[in-house]
Structure formats: C-alpha cells, structure tokens
Amino acid sequence: MNTDIEDHELEASDKQEAAKKSTLVSVVVNIALTTSQVFAGIVSGSQGLVADGIHSLTDLVADFVVLFANHHSGKDADEDHHYGHQRYETAASLFLGVSLLVVGAGMLWKAGEKIINPVAVGQIQIMALYVALGSLAAKEILFRYMLLVAERVRSSMLVANAWHARSDAASSLVVSVGIVGALFGYPILDSVGALVVGLMVGKTGWKFSWDALHDLMDRAVSEEERAQIEKMIMSTDGVMGCHELRTRKMGDMILVDVHIEVDANATVRVGHDIAFAAAKKVTDTLPVLNVMTHIDPA
C-alpha cells in the first residue's frame, strides 16, 4: 500500500462509495464471465473452461463478502463497539486470504493428480481458446482497475479482493495453455502451468491471511508511520517530549497511545490544550482514528 498518505486523504463516506462501486463492477464482470465460460465450455467440449467458469462463480462469494464488510465497517461507534467497526475490513481480508489459499491448494492438488495419473482428453474446439483468452483479458483489466481503486482509498480489503481477481486471471491463463496443449497434442502443459500458478496463488493467499491475522492481534504500524506520528507530536507548540508511543491497527485506521511531556508549571487547561493540539494535528493529517494522550510534567 502507498504510505504517502498526505496526498490521498479521503473522507470515510467517499472511501465506502468507491469500494462499493468497484466491487459491483466485479460482480457484473464475474456474472458475465461465468455465463460465457460455462456455455462455451459445454459447446466446445472443454472441461477446463467449465471449471474456470465455476471458479468465476466462486469469486461472486468474495465480492459479496466485501460488500457486506464495506457496509458494516462504515458504521459509527456504538455501545458495543466504542472504536467503530473498521475491523470488518480486516476480517474480510482474512477470509479472502484464506480463500486464495484454498484455491491455490486446489489447483496444486488437481495438477498433481493429472501429472501422476494423466487421462486422455477429447478434441477441443478452437472457440474454447478464444473464450479463455477473452476471460484472461477481462480479469486482468478488472484486477488493475480494482487495485487502482484500492490503493487510492487505502483499503487492504480491496487490495485482497483485487488479487483474488488476479488469481482468476491466472486460472484463465492455465486453462488457455491447457487448451493450446490439447490442440497440439500436449495436455501435460495444462498440469505444469497449474502447478506454477497454484504456487503463486497460494503465496498471495498466505501473505494476505498472515497480515490480516496480525492486524487482528493489534499489530503496530510500520516504523515509517510511527516516525511520522512522533514527528508531528514533537512539532506541536508546548510539547517538550514524548515517550511510550504505541500504535495498533483498526482496519485501515490507526489507534495511538502516547505520553506527552509539558512544562511542569503549566496549568491543567494549558496541558490539555497542548495535548489536544498534538492529537488533532495527527488525526487531521494521517489515517488515525484516535490519539489517547497522557500528560507528564517535564
């Protein structure tokens, strides 16, 4: 994700609307691809294309999970969730990461089976290749569009869903190679390609699952982001020092706890105003949800 967040600050409502729009685009594309792939696969005699169509159908599940999380993560704080509902996005990222792991494992399993126990395949019509290549192009364009939106609104959940689309593009690539191999009498190419893509998809799923799991366990932000926060606090008028600066992720937002040192002779009101100014400077500039300050005399 882009850490130069000063140039990309968006209101929460704008972020939610952008996420909804990009996900609905993905829903429409996946419905169209599922219909065309399954129909063309049956007509052309390509079992791989039929399977790829079913794979596109499973992406709809991921899209609806994203829509659900996007809707609920925008809710305000309530009696049961004092810090809001941003972690719906983290939970959705974990789900998408695990689903990529499952898809990758399934591709590896099927590819291994075909290599160990190769089976004869019937004659496949050239139409199957055209549809597979069209699906590959559509999925790649969808991936790039969704990733662009995800980086613009700084949403790890949308990044995970974009890579979910890339995994389907990889699947279409495997199907295309397999069809070409079958047309030229080398069906083993399908299995070899599936092994490579399965490893790539599994690696991506592991990364997203691991990152989301750490975020759910209150992982701190990067050293670069922490340094930005500390610099802003220290640059506030009246702040003489700070220590015990701690951070944790809340979805794509950040929670901060910090001890701020002020003049020991300052009044309670002055100390409060200094702490308020420091917190406001951070929340106005960075994606920080809340800054909890403790005033220490210096």
Bigger pLDDT: 130 vs 89: 130
Q: So what's the pLDDT on residue 2?
A: 37
Please give the structure tokens belonging to residue 67. 């829509």
State yes or no: pLDDT of 9 exceeds 50: no
CATH class of 223-297: alpha beta
Bigger pLDDT: 36 vs 202: 36
- Cβ atoms of 168 and 139 closer than 8 Å: yes
Mean residue pLDDT across the chain = 80
Question: For residue 290, which amino acid is it?
Answer: N
Give the domain ranges of the chain: 5-216, 223-297
Cα distance between residue 280 and residue 249, in whole Å: 18
pLDDT in tens, 11-33: 556 777 877 888 889 889 988 98
Cα distance between residue 6 and residue 2, in whole Å: 10
Q: Please give the share of the chain, as a percent, with pLDDT higher than 90.
A: 21
Cα distance between residue 286 and residue 288, in whole Å: 5
Stretch 56-75: mean pLDDT, rounded?
73
3-state DSSP assignment of residue 253: strand
Determine the Cα angle at 283 with ends 278 and 286, to 5°.
115
Name which of 247, 238, 226, 252 is nearest 291 in CA terms.
247
What are 291's strand-pairing partners? 256
pLDDT in tens, 213-249: 888 888 888 899 999 999 999 999 999 999 999 998 8
Q: So what's the pLDDT on residue 3?
A: 37
pLDDT in tens, 146-203: 889 888 877 777 887 788 788 778 778 877 887 787 778 776 766 676 677 677 778 8
Cα distance between residue 286 and residue 283, in whole Å: 6
Pairing of strands 241-250, 253-262: antiparallel
State yes or no: pLDDT of 77 exceeds 70: yes
Bigger pLDDT: 129 vs 3: 129
The arrangement of secondary structure in 5-216, i.e. its CATH architecture, is Up-down Bundle (1.20)
Least confident among 38-52, 84-98, 102-116, 179-193: 179-193
Bigger pLDDT: 251 vs 292: 292
Bigger pLDDT: 290 vs 50: 290
